[in-house]
A and B are shown apart, each in its own frame.
Chain A
Amino acid sequence: SQQGEEDPQALSIQEGENATMNCSYKTSINNLQWYRQNSGRGLVHLILIRSNEREKHSGRLRVTLDTSKKSSSLLITASRAADTASYFCATDTDKLIFGTGTRLQVFP
């Protein structure tokens, strides 16, 4: 069963726009991680947010965590064509479980 569910499954935007992806989960977590995957490649870690943190930034990335709603969001600001990829959340409970991902397409 999936612990993390990303929403939307797919997202298409123009360059310069912001992209927001959401992740919902079911049980208490130690931390939540976001990863990026370019087509057919290995996943690359973006940000880890701990259960006692509410917001974290890394460059154009902003991650929020709401443990009361069991949800997290990843915001990519001023998107670029190179941001085109799939984005996955992974929740750390007693295991690390990945969601099914959001496929982001950024058009030039």
Chain B
Amino acid sequence: EAQVTQNPRYLITVTGKKLTVTCSQNMNHEYMSWYRQDPGLGLRQIYYSMNVEVTDKGDVPEGYKVSRKEKRNFPLILESPSPNQTSLYFCASSAYRGLVYNEQFFGPGTRLTVL
């Protein structure tokens, strides 16, 4: 089954404790991205990756890191989480060819609370 998986689905942590949210897709997609969703603000892109070893900042990258060592995985790293990073996070992937964004496949989301 074609899917994007994220782990963990729920996480409560404390300020400053490094954490990683994993994202994996099994569709051989080139493009992967991370979004955060907050009430009234819609989805805001954190980072994206066009392919292996190619990553770039989205609209709200501060406080986050990513890596793309393999095509299927795109982990999101919070080196020193703060309460303003409490949010619902989504990973997404899609085929990307010819400078056109195709249908995005979203993971189920990770609800993060930073105390």
Residue of B nearest to A46 (CB): B103
Name the interface size band of chain A. 20 to 34
Please state if B108 and A48 are interface contacts (CB–CB under 8 Å). Answer: no
Report B-chain residues with C-beta under 8 Å of the C-beta of A44: 106
Main secondary structure of the interface of B (DSSP, over half): strand
Question: Given known contacts A95-B45, A98-B42, A99-B42, is B109 in contact with A42 (CB within 8 Å)?
Answer: yes
Give how many B residues have a beta carbon under 8 Å from the other chain's beta carbons: 24
Beyond A40-B111, A43-B90, A44-B106, whether A98 also contacts B100 by CB under 8 A is: no
Q: A40-B88, A98-B42, A99-B42 are in contact. Are A92 and B100 (CB under 8 A)?
A: yes
Chain A 87-108 per-residue mask, 1 if CB under 8 angstroms from chain B, else 0:
0101010111111110000000
A42 near B90 with CB under 8 A, answer: yes
With both beta carbons as reference points, the residue of chain B lying nearest to A100 in the complex is identified as B42
Residue of B nearest to A92 (CB): B101
Pair B42/A2 contact, Cβ less than 8 Å:
yes
Kindly state whether residue A45 has any CB partner on chain B within 8 Å: yes
| CB-CB nearest in chain A for B56 | A95
CA distance A40 to B10 in the complex (A): 12
Residues of A within 8 A of B88 (CB): 40
Q: Measuring CB to CB, which residues of chain B are less than 8 angstroms from any residue of chain A?
A: 4, 33, 35, 40-43, 45, 58, 88, 90, 92, 99-109, 111
17 contacts between A and B (CB under 8 A): A33-B103, A40-B111, A41-B108, A42-B4, A42-B90, A43-B43, A43-B106, A45-B105, A48-B102, A88-B42, A90-B104, A92-B100, A95-B45, A96-B45, A96-B104, A98-B42, A100-B41
